[in-house]
Structure 1
């Protein structure tokens, strides 16, 4: 019987293993509710580093398709009209009104060691929030958010990082909105009665 011999160098070959990137699983459990006031229906309001500044009262809204910046943040960052690029598409406000944007600006958003650049649509309208972060930011960060758990989770260097919401601030924003609506409707009623 004849046996074929392999060349000497092939005896040292090992099967190649497929290189697999291990990605952390992003999810939420009941443990993520620890430290939150339950039950609740609070919005997810966080602090983010936008354009090099820590910005409080940022609403995370996975139902929105664009990031929005309101006048207080625009002024606080020292932005000027010449810093904006044209954005011609009108937006629809929470109240269903059409809002014409002042323009658009691209800014870095830092979360931990991760930095993503996002286009903000700048509007001149009242909001208790400084900005709204929407799906483009969540997708760029590869993040998932949960209003129930009051967290945003995202992968970073093989680990899961999280941004924790601030329920008392979310509630203050809600009260500010309701109070403003009440004042606006009271003044409209008073003008009609004159």
Structure 2
């Protein structure tokens, strides 16, 4: 899947038109797989800057309708119950069980020079991951992720930037979960 984005020519007398010479494509090629450990079917696990700290073991999940924060990150960021707002919608775990919710918190997530405010649902269950970033976060900066290529790509100004996954961390998390 690729999304094409075109820089726009500005003119006061004419409608806006796309310049065809500076095409930015937000997609993946076979060469994006260079450097991956083969064979693999690893989750996409990255490091993101959350709340001003570099946070490791963040799983990117296109199937998640929420951004989730686990207890290790909650305590590691020195957050307190007073920092949380109520969150009352039910949440079901991977195993199909209801999850105990502590609440919701909004924190800045930085990728490159872009910073977006993200709502995290704070849960009280064990996970080898520190957080799960789902579609709400991916869609905010217009990011596209690929587990096959172990990357996230997003537009920043007039360039396509990427975040590379950490397969070793993904495998460690898998072992810890089992």
Deviations 1:108-158 (A, max 9, x none): 000001111110000010000000000000000100000000000000011
2:29 & 2:75 partners in 1: Cα distance?
39
1:19 aligns with 2:36: no
In the aligned structure 1, how far is the partner of 2:84 from the partner of 2:123?
11
Unaligned segments of structure 2, at least 5 residues: 1-11
Higher relative strand content? 2
Q: TM-score, normalised by structure 2?
A: 0.89
Instruction: Name which one, 1 or 2, has greater alpha-carbon Rg.
Output: 1
Q: After superposition, where does 1:1-194 map in structure 2 within 5 Å?
A: 16-20=13-17, 24-178=24-178
Deviations 1:10-68 (A, max 9, x none): xxxxx944333666210000000000013311000000000000000000000000000
CA distance in 1, matches of 2:50, 2:118: 10
Distance 1:154 1:17 in 2: 29
User: 8 Å contact 1:89–1:100 — kept in the other structure?
Assistant: no
Matches of 1:144 and 1:46 in 2, distance apart? Answer: 14
Tell me the distance in 2 between the aligned counterparts of 1:140 and 1:69.
18
Is the CA contact 2:26–2:160 (under 8 Å) kept in the aligned structure 1?
yes
SS of the residue 2:172 aligns to: helix
Q: Which whole-Å CA distance do the structure 1 matches of 2:70 and 2:88 have between them?
A: 17
The 4+ residue runs of structure 1 with deviation greater than 3 A are 15-18, 20-23
Structure 1 unaligned blocks of 5 or more: 1-14, 179-194
The count of residues paired between Structure 1 and Structure 2 equals: 165
Q: Give RMSD over aligned pairs.
A: 1.6
